[in-house]
Amino acid sequence: MTVRLLPCGRSAVLVELEDVLGFQAALTRLSLDGVEELVPAARTLLVRYDPAVTDADRLGALLREVSPVDSAVAAPAEVVVPVVYDGEDLADVAAEVDLSVEALVSLHSAGSYVSAFCGFAPGFAYLSGLDPALHVARRSSPRTRIPAGSVAIAGEYSAVYPSASPGGWRLLGRTDVPVWDVERDPPNLLPPGTRVRFEAVRS
């Protein structure tokens, strides 16, 4: 496995690699001394450490010896998200990818997804595992307001909007499942590594 390590300030190392979730799962198992936080992104993992316990050189040497593990083994139980597939972009996306609406819904709901990383807004999880046949670009003109619970796709990811916000993802449907709830502990239903399955339901 090829990794690239970049110092990030005085208390973090940025690891560039392909299997971010597998690498994160391996580090979580190892519990290296001084490591305080792991922050995954699409192709990087930020490793925050306590400078009083370790340093970038010592930690970097350990990180180069780490091999990714199957992140699904360490993942929490699968979260099932019921979806009413009636999104504003559903028909247009189906036409764009040359599928019937029914076939698109079947393909999207048959996927096995994993929360790869979170960003954009609290609780907005980028779900990897979208079938390549459904990889479509974002809208050329983003909407000014997308309702909370909207289920959408863009590029290689699917997502559930945790709150009402602007956005350019293509809307396939909606769910009543609150993926972000400040009254819940923890508030994020879909932290990185969580397995997700969409289930088509009637309104």
Note the pTM of the prediction, 2 decimals. 0.81
Report the first-to-last Cα separation within the chain, whole angstroms.
46
Distance (Å, rounded) from C-alpha 167 to C-alpha 160?
Answer: 12
Tell me the C-alpha distance between 34 and 43, whole Å. Answer: 23
Question: In which domain, by residue range, is 140 found?
Answer: 79-200
The pLDDT assigned to 74 comes to 54
CATH of the domain at 134: 2.40.100.10
What total of structural domains would you count in the chain? 2
pLDDT less than 50: residues of the chain: none
Whether residues 36 and 104 fall in one domain? no
Examine the fold and report which residue of 46, 69, 92 is the final residue of a domain before the chain moves on: 69
Tokens of 113: 């997804």
Same structural domain for residues 42 and 126? Answer: no
Give the CATH number, domain containing residue 26: 3.30.1360.40
Q: What is the predicted pLDDT for the residue at 48?
A: 95
As given in the structure block, the two tokens for residue 29 are 């198992």
**Residue at a domain's end among 49, 69, 89:** 69
Question: What is the C-alpha to C-alpha distance for residues 38 and 28, in angstroms, rounded to an integer?
Answer: 8
Q: Say what the pLDDT of residue 3 is.
A: 80
In a domain, 190, yes or no: yes
pLDDT for the residue 34: 93
Q: Of all residues in the chain, what percent carry a pLDDT higher than 90? A: 72
Pair 193, 108 in one domain = yes
123, 179 Cβ separation under 8 angstroms: yes
What integer pLDDT is reported at residue 175 of this predicted model?
A: 98
